[in-house]
Amino acid sequence: MATALKNLSEYDPANIPDASDFKFGIIVSEWNHEITGAMLEGARSTLLKHGAKPENIFVYYVPGSFELTYGAQWLAENRNVDAIICIGCVIQGETRHFDYICQGVTQGITQLNVNYSIPFIFGVLTTQNIQQAFERAGGKHGNKGDEAAVTAIKMAHYRKMVIEE
């Protein structure tokens, strides 16, 4: 659904499972840190709001969005987590670099979901300009970090339900 039609921070809290039994990894791109920092705070506060313990939220940084895939893979292999949130922001420039980075990150995170038994959440903004990014990192369209955290909780819960059945 287009962000213009839905606020990224709006959801029904009653439909979110308790997160107190889960551990979450968050990989954050340092590139566009004003945006990714706001998204990280949105994700962290949403996880805490739904019961995640601060000591069960592990945050690591990578230089850019392209490195999110490797950072997330390394985290999955070295930390016992129930879901990994990948936070990044790629803003359209004058060259096709935007297309290659977006495609690489999308395919990389998709491949991680296929290769590992935990969910990797795509919390990456791909915007045409900095204004659109700010609008989706706590601005008028909400915070993509909130949405990513809600997705992480739901997917960790889904994984647990399937394993326990």
User: What residues have CB less than 8 Å from 101, skipping those under 6 apart?
Assistant: 64, 65, 66, 90
Strands 142-143 and 137-139: antiparallel
What is the average pLDDT score of the chain?
A: 94
pTM of the model: 0.94
Q: At what angle do helices 33-49 and 144-164 cross, to 10 degrees?
A: 50
Catalytic residues: 97
Mean pLDDT for 17-32 is 97
Cα(120)–Cα(69) distance, integer angstroms: 9
* 161 vs 44, more confident: 44
Domains and their CATH numbers in the chain: 27-41+52-151 (3.40.50.960)
Local confidence band at 1 (pLDDT 50, 70, 90 cut-offs): very low
